[in-house]
Structure 1
Amino acid sequence: MPAIDLIKAAAAALTAKKTGPTLYDLCDPLLRGRGPGDAHLRTFYKTAVANVALRPLLGRAGLPALADPDRFAALQGAIRSARDDDRPDWAAIGREVAPLIDAAPQQHPRRPRLAAVAPMPSTAEIDRVLRGCASHLLGAFGRNKGFLPAWAAFNLVGDPDFHGRDLVTALTGLQARTYKNATLVFNLARAFILPNAPIAGLLNPPWTGFAEPMWEPVQIRHRSAYYDAFFAEALMDYVGTGLAAGDEAAQARSAVAAMVDFCLRTSRETVKHPVDGTPFDVVTALVPPPHARMSGFFWRLKSDLGFGTYVPDCDTTACALSAATQFGSLDPMLDQPFLDFYAGYQVRPGSNRPPPSVDINTPLDFQGGIVTWIESAGGDRPFGNDLDPTLNLDVLEAAFRNHARWGIVETEQRRDVVRGIVAFHDRLIGSGLFADPRAHIYYLPELYAAYFGRCHAAFRALPADVRATVDPDDRFARMRETVLAYVLDDLAAHEMNPFDAALALLAMAKLGAKPARFAPALDVLVRSFGEGGRHGPYRAYEWNKMKTPTRILVGGPEVTSAFVLSALCHARTSLRGDRA
């Protein structure tokens, strides 16, 4: 948001007329200061929404509906129950708050269709942008003393796809009380913010394209093996183009080696197979300081906000294994039969595993899918469990890259695991739900499309007999046509910001679209180069997110550069072949 617009929006928000009781009128008598009940709920309230920065703003956000003394008392009763009860009835608590959320519905940006045919940039322009993104990543790796950061930002308006019924689902499905507390308080704040247009406009200004820019003033820098695996793959794509000069190529390989080591060594954690107890080394989502590269202040704040314990997850493990395989790692961790491990986290008939407890992306048919969170060796699983479609693409892609090492078609169980995941995606794509943001837990549909292209490329690289065994019904061909049509006729046919354009281009290049169709996305990337100012070639955009406890976006200017770099590397190969 430009500075002058930010000043105007702040003035409008701070002078907005108070139209009813506020969040502080509701909660201060119950949660402010010391007192009885759950201490974390009080701490979270003070830290997250009753701090000195937000009080002048949210103190103007009144709700006329709460002028009704009965409604006000009922809502206070729910908060008191969350504070005082040893085992609160979280479903009942959620049902008191849910109508307030549904009273102010949100929607994703409505993107206008492109008005004109975009020109195809020259090879020189494409290479200039490509080299600029590579230089940004390598420079940032050096400036940050050996890692590439991502950033997290809290968005108090919540996620457009998270409705009142989802709050009830989350409050009952999440396992840690601290995480339930956080979800409750953030959604209470959301219920007051959204009906007050000046305040909502300041906290969530409009944007261009689909992926949300990360403009929030408070962003938390951190490092995760998931990010390192992604950055490593982007730099490997760059080295593969042959554009990197000798010293630059050596720097890129050195950075990739360090990030793969962080994935497989620093972030390694031993857990037990959930069914038979066999030990497996997996990759944890967030390692403790100093490896997380998060300041002491934010690490403490993370615990105060309900994120005291992080556990391994299936997605980080799959992406780390894929990056290591592409780099040619010989770490013995890669030799574990990971399909046997993932089988323990697959939703299937006859399993005694509980289904996803935070199923806020229904009406998906979860059959055949792999859930997200892995219990730690101590049995921790604070987030309950959910099932994300893009995660399941990552599991497939890692399995395809390691098809011989993991023997993915050598036993009936392994064949069934792979075919089950393929069938899950076939139903998702065939139904069209893959294009609905509500179907996704941690990503947008455009990222699913790009990662489907990545997975499809790994599938096409399999030996013919393995492909036939994995996909005897030729489902990948049908899925490719549907996803590519979405990219060409929807994603790339409407207004895009650079992050959208990078994902569209990556999907088109990986799925074999005609290079002439690359023009709109390439045009956006070339025209927008430099928008990031001193932070990098591009701004930070929404890469992935959490919908609980509120909408938490993860991204960064380095993330945008990495996606643009990968997309241009693969598009360049297709364009060179087309012009040959």
Structure 2
Amino acid sequence: MPVTDLIKSSLAALTAKKSGPSLYDLCDPLLRGAGPGDAHLRTFYKTAVANPVLRPLMGRAGLPALADPDRFAALQGAIRSARDDAAPDWAAIGRAIAPLIDAVPQQHPRRPPLAGKASMPPRAEIDRVIKGCATDLIGSYTRNQGFIPAYAAFNLIGDPDFHGRDLVTALVGLNARTYKNATLLFNLARAFILPNAPVARLLNPGWAGFAEPMWEPVQIRHRSAYYDAFFAEALMDYLGTGLATADETARANTAIAGMIEFCLTTSRETVRHPTDGTPFDVVTALVKPPHVRMSKFFWKLKSDLGFGLYVPDCDTTACSLSAATQFGSLDPMLDQPFLDYYAGYQVRPGTNRAPPSVDINAPLDFTGGIVTWIENAAGDNPFGNDLDPTLNLDVLEAAFRNHVRWDIVGTEQRVTFLRGVVDFHDRLIGSGAFADPRAHIYYLPELYAAYFGRCLAAFRAMPAAIQKTIDPNDRFAAMRETILTYVQDDLAAHEMNPFDAALALLALAKLGGDRACFAPAVAAMVDAYGEGGRKGPYKAYEWNKMKTPTRILVGGPEVTSAFVLSALSHARTSLAAA
């Protein structure tokens, strides 16, 4: 947000007329200072919601509906129950707040159609951007003393797809009380922000394109194996272009090797198969200091607020295995029969395993899909479980890359597992639900489209006989056509920021789309090159997100550089072949 707009929005929020009881009128008598009940709820309120920065802004954000003393008292009763009860009725607490959230519906940006016809930039310009992005990534790895960072930012406005019903679902389905407390208070704050336009505009300004820019002034730098696997793959794409100098090749290989080691060694965690107890080494989502590379202040703050425990997940594990395989790693971890392990997390009728508890992307049919979170060795699973479509593409892609090592069609059980995941995607894509942001937990539809292309490329690289065994009815061909239509007629035919353009181009290049459709996306990335100023070639955009406890965006300038680098590298290869 420009400085002048920030000042205007701040003044409007600070001088707005108060039209009813505020969040602090409601909660201060119950949660401010020391007192009875759950201490974490009080701590979270003080630190995340009633801090000195937000108080002046939200102190005037009132709700006229709460002028009704009975409604005010009922809402206080729900908060008191969350504070005092040993086993709160979280569904009842959520139902008390849900109508306030649904009273102000949200929607994703409406992108205007592209104006005019874009011309394909010259090859020299494409190569210049590729090399600039590679220089940014390699330089960042050096400057940050052995890693490339990503950043997290809290957005108090909440996710447009997270409705009142979803709040009830999350409060019931999440396991850790601290995480329930955070989800409760963030969404309570959201209920006061949404109807107060000056505050809402300040906390959530508009933007161009689909993926949200990460403009928030406070961004938490950190490191995760998921990010390292992604950055390693982008640098491998750069080496595949033949543009790297000898020095760049050596530095890129050093960075890739270091990030693969972080994935398979530093982030490795031993767990047990969920049904038969067989030990498996998997990859945890967020390791502890010093490896997380988060400042001591933010790590303490994160822990104090109840986010101290992270467990492994199926997506981080799959992406780490894929990147390691592409780099030619011989780590014994890769030799484990991972298809048998993932099968323990597949949603199948007739099993004793509970379905996803945080099904905020319902009414999707989850049958055949794989849930997100893996219980650690102690059995902890603080986030309950959910099911994200893009994660399921990552598991397939890792399996296809390791089809020999994992003998993926060697048993009837493995074939059944893979067909089940393919059927899940076939239903999702065939119904058109894949294009709805609500169907996704951690990503946007445009990233699903790009990662479908990545998955399909790995599928087509396998021997024809294995392809036929997994997909006897050639459903991948039909899915490809549907995804291509979405990318060409929707995603790439409307206004794009450079992050959107990179995902559109990745999908087009990986799926073998019409090369005439490449031009708008390539032009958008070339034209935006330099927008990041001193921070890098590009700004930070939404890459992935959490919908609970509030909308938490993850991305960074280097993330945008990596996606642009990969997209242009694959498009360059496709254009050269033409």
TM class, shorter-chain normalised? over 0.9
Q: Matched residues in 1 for 2:543 and 2:34: separation?
A: 39
Q: Matched residues in 1 for 2:551 and 2:305: separation?
A: 14
- 1:572 equivalent in structure 2: 572
Residues 47 and 304, structure 1, Cα contact 8 Å, conserved in 2: no
Question: What is the CA-CA distance between 1:304 and the residue it aligns to?
Answer: 2.3
Partner letter of residue 232 of structure 2?
A
Partner letter of residue 498 of structure 1?
P
Residues 356 and 387, structure 1, Cα contact 8 Å, conserved in 2: yes
- 1:261 equivalent in structure 2: 261
Normalising to structure 1: TM-score of the pair?
Answer: 0.99
Question: What is the CA-CA distance between 1:20 and the residue it aligns to?
Answer: 0.4
Residues 179 and 382, structure 1, Cα contact 8 Å, conserved in 2: yes
Question: What is the CA-CA distance between 1:502 and the residue it aligns to?
Answer: 0.3
Instruction: Give per-residue Cα distances to partners, 1:8-59, cap 9 Å, x unaligned.
Output: 1111111111110000000000000000000000000001010001100010
Q: Matched residues in 1 for 2:194 and 2:17: separation?
A: 14
- Counterparts of residues 462-477 of structure 1 (less than 5 Å): 462-477=462-477
Residues 152 and 219, structure 1, Cα contact 8 Å, conserved in 2: yes
Partner letter of residue 351 of structure 1?
T
Question: What is the CA-CA distance between 1:305 and the residue it aligns to?
Answer: 2.4
- 2:16 equivalent in structure 1: 16
Instruction: Give per-residue Cα distances to partners, 1:295-316, cap 9 Å, x unaligned.
Output: 1110111112221210000000
- 1:437 equivalent in structure 2: 437
- 2:415 equivalent in structure 1: 415
Residues 98 and 165, structure 1, Cα contact 8 Å, conserved in 2: yes
Q: Matched residues in 2 for 1:209 and 1:109: separation?
A: 7
SS in 1 for 2:571: helix
The alignment yields a C-alpha RMSD, in angstroms, of: 0.5
Q: Which runs of 5+ in 2 are unaligned?
A: none
- 2:448 equivalent in structure 1: 448
Structure 1 outlier segments of 4+, above 2 Å: none
Q: Matched residues in 2 for 1:451 and 1:109: separation?
A: 22
Higher mean Cα deviation, 299-308 or 98-107?
A: 299-308
Please state if 1:526 is matched with 2:526. Answer: yes
- Counterparts of residues 94-105 of structure 1 (less than 5 Å): 94-105=94-105
Partner letter of residue 531 of structure 1?
E
Question: What is the CA-CA distance between 1:237 and the residue it aligns to?
Answer: 0.3
Q: Matched residues in 2 for 1:556 and 1:372: separation?
A: 23
SS in 1 for 2:152: strand
- 2:150 equivalent in structure 1: 150
Question: What is the CA-CA distance between 1:574 and the residue it aligns to?
Answer: 0.6
Partner letter of residue 41 of structure 2?
L
Instruction: Give per-residue Cα distances to partners, 1:494-522, cap 9 Å, x unaligned.
Output: 00000000000000000001222100001
Partner letter of residue 485 of structure 1?
T
Q: Matched residues in 1 for 2:207 and 2:76: separation?
A: 36
- 1:306 equivalent in structure 2: 306
Please state if 1:342 is matched with 2:342. Answer: yes
Please state if 1:119 is matched with 2:106. Answer: no
Q: Matched residues in 2 for 1:73 and 1:424: separation?
A: 45
Residues 315 and 391, structure 1, Cα contact 8 Å, conserved in 2: yes
SS in 1 for 2:490: helix
Question: What is the CA-CA distance between 1:178 and the residue it aligns to?
Answer: 0.1
- 1:204 equivalent in structure 2: 204
The count of corresponding residues between Structure 1 and Structure 2 is: 578
Q: Matched residues in 2 for 1:551 and 1:217: separation?
A: 15
- 1:91 equivalent in structure 2: 91
- 2:38 equivalent in structure 1: 38
Q: Matched residues in 1 for 2:307 and 2:462: separation?
A: 40
Instruction: Give per-residue Cα distances to partners, 1:166-224, cap 9 Å, x unaligned.
Output: 00000000000000000000000000001000000000000000000000001000000
- 1:373 equivalent in structure 2: 373
Partner letter of residue 234 of structure 1?
A
- Counterparts of residues 486-501 of structure 1 (less than 5 Å): 486-501=486-501
Partner letter of residue 112 of structure 1?
P
- 2:78 equivalent in structure 1: 78
- 1:2 equivalent in structure 2: 2
- 1:270 equivalent in structure 2: 270
Q: Matched residues in 1 for 2:554 and 2:140: separation?
A: 17
Partner letter of residue 410 of structure 1?
G
Q: Matched residues in 1 for 2:301 and 2:96: separation?
A: 28
Instruction: Give per-residue Cα distances to partners, 1:255-297, cap 9 Å, x unaligned.
Output: 0000000000000000000000000000000000000000111
- 1:297 equivalent in structure 2: 297
Q: Matched residues in 2 for 1:573 and 1:552: separation?
A: 35
Instruction: Give per-residue Cα distances to partners, 1:118-148, cap 9 Å, x unaligned.
Output: 1110000101111100000011110000000
SS in 2 for 1:406: coil
SS in 1 for 2:542: coil
Q: Matched residues in 2 for 1:115 and 1:238: separation?
A: 32
Q: Matched residues in 1 for 2:486 and 2:574: separation?
A: 20
Please state if 1:48 is matched with 2:80. Answer: no
SS in 2 for 1:271: strand
- 2:238 equivalent in structure 1: 238
Q: Matched residues in 2 for 1:92 and 1:560: separation?
A: 42
- 1:139 equivalent in structure 2: 139
Question: What is the CA-CA distance between 1:577 and the residue it aligns to?
Answer: 1.2
Partner letter of residue 222 of structure 1?
H
Question: What is the CA-CA distance between 1:117 and the residue it aligns to?
Answer: 0.5
Partner letter of residue 22 of structure 2?
T
Instruction: Give per-residue Cα distances to partners, 1:60-79, cap 9 Å, x unaligned.
Output: 10000000000000000000
Question: What is the CA-CA distance between 1:525 and the residue it aligns to?
Answer: 0.4
Please state if 1:483 is matched with 2:483. Answer: yes
SS in 1 for 2:545: strand
Instruction: Give per-residue Cα distances to partners, 1:324-358, cap 9 Å, x unaligned.
Output: 00000000000000000001000011211000000
- 1:328 equivalent in structure 2: 328
Q: Matched residues in 2 for 1:530 and 1:60: separation?
A: 39
Higher mean Cα deviation, 507-516 or 267-276?
A: 507-516
Question: What is the CA-CA distance between 1:471 and the residue it aligns to?
Answer: 0.4
Q: Matched residues in 2 for 1:114 and 1:199: separation?
A: 31
Question: What is the CA-CA distance between 1:363 and the residue it aligns to?
Answer: 1.0
Q: Matched residues in 1 for 2:115 and 2:528: separation?
A: 18
SS in 2 for 1:113: coil
SS in 1 for 2:280: strand
Partner letter of residue 517 of structure 2?
R
Q: Matched residues in 2 for 1:535 and 1:247: separation?
A: 23
Q: Matched residues in 2 for 1:307 and 1:536: separation?
A: 30
SS in 1 for 2:404: helix
Q: Matched residues in 2 for 1:308 and 1:149: separation?
A: 20
Partner letter of residue 212 of structure 2?
E
Q: Matched residues in 1 for 2:295 and 2:121: separation?
A: 42
Q: Matched residues in 2 for 1:74 and 1:385: separation?
A: 30
Q: Matched residues in 1 for 2:319 and 2:51: separation?
A: 38
Q: Matched residues in 2 for 1:125 and 1:242: separation?
A: 16
- 1:461 equivalent in structure 2: 461
Partner letter of residue 243 of structure 1?
L
Partner letter of residue 237 of structure 2?
D
Q: Matched residues in 1 for 2:2 and 2:65: separation?
A: 34
Q: Matched residues in 2 for 1:305 and 1:462: separation?
A: 46
- 2:551 equivalent in structure 1: 551
Residues 232 and 255, structure 1, Cα contact 8 Å, conserved in 2: yes
Instruction: Give per-residue Cα distances to partners, 1:369-423, cap 9 Å, x unaligned.
Output: 0000000000000000000000000000000000010011000100011100000
Residues 137 and 558, structure 1, Cα contact 8 Å, conserved in 2: yes
